[in-house]
Structure 1
């Protein structure tokens, strides 16, 4: 018989949602334990998802900047690095993340259990350790934050050495000359940028009629243009019928009759919640066809003692949102319901990157809201010209009558940072949310942030022309 542990709150999963839930509960005086199936904490975010892929992107971006800079070109020919070389450099950040997250648990006296958790009843979990032992844990409340993994259809052989998903691609030990990416969501577009930046010929297969249709149309069009400009072949309205892999490559058969041949296939078509090993039936719960758990507005499941947050509950499946959801779930466990409003900015780490918050032009038009547009192109900013980051723009949507900012959309260098300036004003109420704030505020010069002033003046000039 294994060891017996007892907690007020047990969190299952140590990704962003799990960590924030555990620390929030601990800081409110609860005895908290956390279970992680991997040998190290951090969840998929630190080991397979957000952190390694963004570190990989950063390394590729540095290579591109070096090769495009006339000053560095004087030092010699264009540098080409293999995918394993770049991956090795990017992976250096993971131990730093693990150490940081481990210290968070230690400082807050949260006991970390390494193993696979399985419900026995609504107050008991058994954890199968990696050494073959077991631990029995009882708790008053549970928070499930087990995250997600790449969706794998049964008719695709992911055991083949030339077939990858967004987790296993981080173990690729060679550099393909050609790559087919099936799935043009956020992850697919990000990896298309990364591999194109390494000089790989990429086919990006999209089942819809445009890329990332939740974005503002102008931003989506810009992404499509720049992917194609780097050599990515984007194919819309396509679905696979069969995948055939052999010793020399992979052939993707499409329902349209096309056959695409490449050195490797990267499957990026959706994600599934990590719930299959939890034995949810023992606590009267179930998961949908994508392994996701249904919760109410306070992240409580159909079992009043069990809560869930993060990717395992589905949309929006962002690390940033998961942090807030985990904290809100912990507050609900403590009897202090705090609904997290999932109006987080979108951050897409393509090359160049994209970030937005608020409504799009299409949404405002459908709602018949009178709005105007203010734009600032990075090529017209001094900072963009100095740094060479002159691709992209900042776009502000605002109400013609009230001057209220309705949407912020950014495409280009540091977009995911720049958007937060506008977010701070967008979140204000009443007269505090006014595009004149940006037109009358002094920004450091030269900076990328100065684009807000340019965009505001551009939009206000449009309004003046309209009514004069």
Structure 2
């Protein structure tokens, strides 16, 4: 059995693993990456972020074609099946894999495809590689194994009508009706996607409103537009049983309701991929959700072992995972540019999409902060009227005494892009982080960025009118 020595071993090639590997190798360390799947990229590339967002984009284009009167000169509205739409996502995945494979090759990072298991804190056995079993040794290890959908044992996920957020990508037809259990970010995104394909969706939410971590006004807007696309949202419900046969799926809720559909999609919770790593050999224990506890430098309880990305829990976003991986590598290499990732914008790719950063109205009210609101509705902006994407708004929350920006909430087309303008300003100090920046800055016209100036003026008008 071959033995290889490295400075850093990274388990997992998703965003966190890639961030850790690239930061380490750029600092002159010899790095190995272990990936359980056949290709690099992790679940982000193959099962999560990339395929779902590519799917969403295709469905968005279909909706625009079918609802824009200009296209009636070309032809009548068209129906597109899920497999056809998925085909484009597969092309994006292939491009992402090629890009990331080149990253590792160009930077001389050795990639081992197989299952990793600790022998001790400095030794990892890689099983199932092309050469059989191989042994890697290093002073430092970064665990970046990601997560997978939590699948309760009382639901038969082997049945061809029952899916989770990973296996839904193997759906070979377009169901007429679907039940989605779990109205978190993933559930709401897939509800948007399937509703856009004309599927009648029942979205089951265990809470009393969608995505309760969002600003209430934004959450209400999402609910309205999902319902406007014929999604039936059922709040405060829990399943009692899910039974499938050749005729369909029946979900029985604890409230006594029974819902019949052609397909069932489970989107309720995720589990860290820590089983099989042999953590007991290095004195680590994952929590009930398979996640590892780390400190504010991404160090686990075992010296020299770090963890980053979904396997450590919050915020479970690809954007944050990449930065967490880089940060973990920065700490183990004693780099001065280390930072703890705690300010992360929310990006939710529903139709329309949502992005936010900072405090919500509910949080500011509870903290007794004297805040005010500035709003810009997209329907009033020239760029949105030109593009035909008039749904949504930009909402700025600011301190009415100092004008400091406290929260940014955006709902509508390209919200995940628009929020970053405000993010850059929020990170400034002094008067640079106030509404005055947007008042005193000239924006290109017409642009969506102009919404910041409109919202800022709206906010100042609220103060002057009181």
Give the TM-score, by structure 2 length: 0.99
- Whether 1:31 aligns to 2:30 is yes
1:336-347 correspondence to structure 2 within 5 Å: 336=335, 338-347=338-347
Q: What's the counterpart of residue 118 of structure 2?
A: 119
Residue 393 of structure 2 aligns to a residue whose secondary structure is strand
Conserved? CA contact 2:123–2:136, under 8 Å: yes
- Whether 1:440 aligns to 2:437 is no
Which consecutive unaligned segments of at least 5 residues does structure 2 have?
A: none
Q: Distance in 2 between matches of 1:390 and 1:384?
A: 5
Residue 84 of structure 2 aligns to a residue whose secondary structure is helix
Per-residue CA deviation, residues 443-462 of structure 1 (Å, 9 max, x unaligned), is 11111111111100000000
- Whether 1:271 aligns to 2:285 is no
Out of 100-109 and 35-44, give the one that drifted further: 100-109
- Whether 1:357 aligns to 2:369 is no
1:11-90 correspondence to structure 2 within 5 Å: 11-90=10-89
Give the TM-score, by structure 1 length: 0.98
1:312-331 correspondence to structure 2 within 5 Å: 312-331=311-330
Following superposition, the deviation at residue 440 of structure 1 comes to 1.9
Per-residue CA deviation, residues 125-159 of structure 1 (Å, 9 max, x unaligned), is 11112557111111111000000000101111100
Conserved? CA contact 2:320–2:341, under 8 Å: no
Conserved? CA contact 1:309–1:329, under 8 Å: yes
Given the superposition, is the C-alpha separation of residues 244 and 132 from structure 1 closer, same or farther in structure 2, using an over 3 Å criterion?
Answer: farther
Segments of 4+ moved more than 4 angstroms: none
What is the alpha-carbon root mean square deviation over aligned residues?
Answer: 0.9
Q: What's the counterpart of residue 422 of structure 2?
A: 422
Conserved? CA contact 1:157–1:163, under 8 Å: yes
Conserved? CA contact 1:151–1:270, under 8 Å: yes
Out of 200-209 and 86-95, give the one that drifted further: 86-95
Q: What's the counterpart of residue 402 of structure 1?
A: 402
Q: What's the counterpart of residue 187 of structure 1?
A: 186
How many corresponding residue pairs? 465
Q: Distance in 2 between matches of 1:20 and 1:465?
A: 49
Q: Distance in 1 between matches of 2:236 and 2:402?
A: 40
1:368-379 correspondence to structure 2 within 5 Å: 368-379=368-379
Q: Distance in 2 between matches of 1:382 and 1:431?
A: 29
Conserved? CA contact 2:112–2:129, under 8 Å: no
Q: Distance in 2 between matches of 1:312 and 1:194?
A: 27
Q: Distance in 1 between matches of 2:299 and 2:247?
A: 50
Following superposition, the deviation at residue 335 of structure 1 comes to 2.5
Q: Distance in 1 between matches of 2:124 and 2:341?
A: 31
Q: Distance in 2 between matches of 1:295 and 1:216?
A: 29
Conserved? CA contact 1:13–1:34, under 8 Å: yes
Q: Distance in 1 between matches of 2:371 and 2:304?
A: 46
Q: Distance in 2 between matches of 1:103 and 1:253?
A: 49
Q: Distance in 1 between matches of 2:243 and 2:439?
A: 57
Which consecutive unaligned segments of at least 5 residues does structure 1 have?
A: none
Conserved? CA contact 1:146–1:275, under 8 Å: yes
1:221-236 correspondence to structure 2 within 5 Å: 221-236=220-235
Residue 6 of structure 2 aligns to a residue whose secondary structure is strand
Following superposition, the deviation at residue 343 of structure 1 comes to 1.0
